[in-house]
Structure 1
Amino acid sequence: MGDVTADAAVRDLRARLRSLCDEHGVPVELRARLVLSATLLARDGLVALPATVLSHVDAQQSTLVVAVPLLAPLDRPRNLPLPPEPSNAAEAVWRVPVLTRPRHDRPEPEDDQSATERELRAALARADALEREHLQLKHELAETNSGVVAMYVELEERDEQLRTAHAVIFRELEDALRPPPPTVPGLEFGVHYKPADQDAPTGGDLYDWFVLADGTVQITIVDAVGHGVTCTRNALNVTHTIRTLTLDGYPLEDLVRRAAEINETLMATVLIARLDPATGVLRLAGGGHPPALLVSSTGETAYLTAKGRGVGFPDPGSFDIHHTTLSPGDLLLLYTDGLVESRGDVDEGEVRLADAAKARSRHPLETALSAVVEDMHDVVLYTDDTVLLGLRFQGTAEEARSQD
């Protein structure tokens, strides 16, 4: 089964599971764990695709029984957010609690990305609730000497719950918030993400890329101020807002300002690139973010500055739009400041980045971007999350035919 067909089959599997859960009133946070578990099994090549999801309701236990066919029985336990029941059969079976009375209201249909974002928000809310309980329990433990042993055991249990909830969020963030690139003829995409803390791979460095109705490609890269789950939520809000504003028809020069008006309580830098693959025309709108780096097909490098102030800063918005036209073989890099600030000197970091990108510009993006990050992080004095996005313009369809 080809990659595109397999991805479509996985999306269809997720849609069927979500429909079943919504029909029977399964909480969104529990639905997220079920959908993510089935997705991980499918992407490991264990699910028979296209999958036929079997289900029935166990009225005595008020549970929804969901079965997904496998290519073979699971030979060992899997580290999944919602493990299936142990079985020697070639299927994964889950039992999830449902409402005692069937739902009569049908939820509005959602696309895969919107459903994933809603599940993520539910998981984030659950993690926040567990963290609040965790802090409250610590406070109670500090104020009393009685029942210390029992409270210590409960604290350990809450810690394990919190770690489990965070693990679900981290996997969901990696799978959903850092989306795969679009497929556009004449363009090659690549991305490399490196968290500052390998044990907590969430932060405020996020991106989004998609194709507009007129065929142009828009890439948004965001660096929200702060750390942890709250920072991730802030970055998600900004990327989602910019996508929504774009699809609502707002011009490129207004996107940062409008995003700032909608998200008044957070701070983030933003850079938006919009490329017409038919002509190579590139426009950049900035919001206090590091400049894009262009490596031409001849090996020359130039930083493309799009001046502006980010979300949450005074007078936010793009001051002007940077225009340029890409030639076949040109490489465009967008990144967050963790890439050039690892030694504490941004100017020196930009010089090193230009040299590293030039040396790797002919390599496939899949390997070139990770190599550039490793070159930049050979000495790390200041740790921060790092995102490096790459786009290589391979030329218009007419140019490709003329080369043939």
Structure 2
Amino acid sequence: MKVVLSANTSWYLYNFRKNTIKQLISGGHTVYIVAPIDDYSNILAKLGCHCVDVKLSGRGMNPLNEIQTIISFVKIYKKIRPDVIFNFTPKNNIYSTLAAYHLPTKIINNIAGLGTAFIGRSVSKSILMFLYKISQRRANRIFFQNTDDLKQFVNNKIASESQSRLIPGSGVDLNRFGLDERSVDGVTNFILIARLILEKGIPEYAKAATILKDKYGDKVHFSLAGFVDQDNPSAVPLELINKWHDDGVMRFLGKTDKVEDLLQDNDCVVLPSYYREGVPKSLLEAAAMGKIIVTTDNVGCREAVIDNETGYLCEPRSVLSLTCALEKVILMDHKAREEMGRAGRDYISRRFDEQIVINEYLSCL
């Protein structure tokens, strides 16, 4: 069987769907990666994938560019003649689906959060709603990572209830992200791992870190890790990130594929996001390793934590609420931290095992 996985980067498919790809290949299927060629395309090729380049613009909605993208998908699928297409990331869910509209191909789409365009009312939101509505009727199955997004699609008649199914985020590789209990060293280490855009709450994190560093000094450390995309209009300016680093507010660690190594050095993972998330994978991986979670009572984020049991929820965009939640972690004794960490590991093991997600995908073949 010819199986396509399509996303806006090969990086995404390697970091989020590698084990799915491995199981598809080991099951005898021919796997095609349809995504812009990047540094991870060769790595995917070494796994046994056939990588096909497709030109995708970032956040832009230039009509000519978008039409050219759809035409590119049409040409690719006419050549491959895939049996099943798994689409990930917004533009792929729309354009790849439209391109395969009249092919005898199963279309499986994944809504991993609705991003910034669905915050409030905007022209972008109206355009996206229209594009989703005309494209998703062709999908055989649409997977959602949280109930808020599923209800929005069903209530707005973008998807039917029979098409829609809820899955536990991207899942977590519980073998890779094993329980890690830190020893007592008198320091509370916090880290935020995310795409470095404003809607992830990074300025709020920096302000809270400044307040707590002033109060607790060297007893608290803050770190920031992630990719700086300066072409994104919502990107946190690199100059500001470097200033935080130079001023001692937080250490900037850049991007990494070894997230587990960063998590081992920290007690708590923070994500004060007001972005419409799916279920943030960074939080799931952290909780699987027994790290305390502090995140917002926001779409997608709230699914990753049991408030006061595996971590703490705070109000979106509120520096005061975030600071109070972080201070709760600072004031916990070591035994309480261990108990909360183990509760987080148990929660992830019950609900977010990656194999649950992979089995759902394999059932679509």
Scaled by the length of structure 2, what TM-score is found? 0.29
State the structure with more CA Rg.
1
**Between structures 1 and 2, the one with greater strand share:** 1
Q: Which has the higher contact order (CA 8 A, sep 6+)?
A: 2
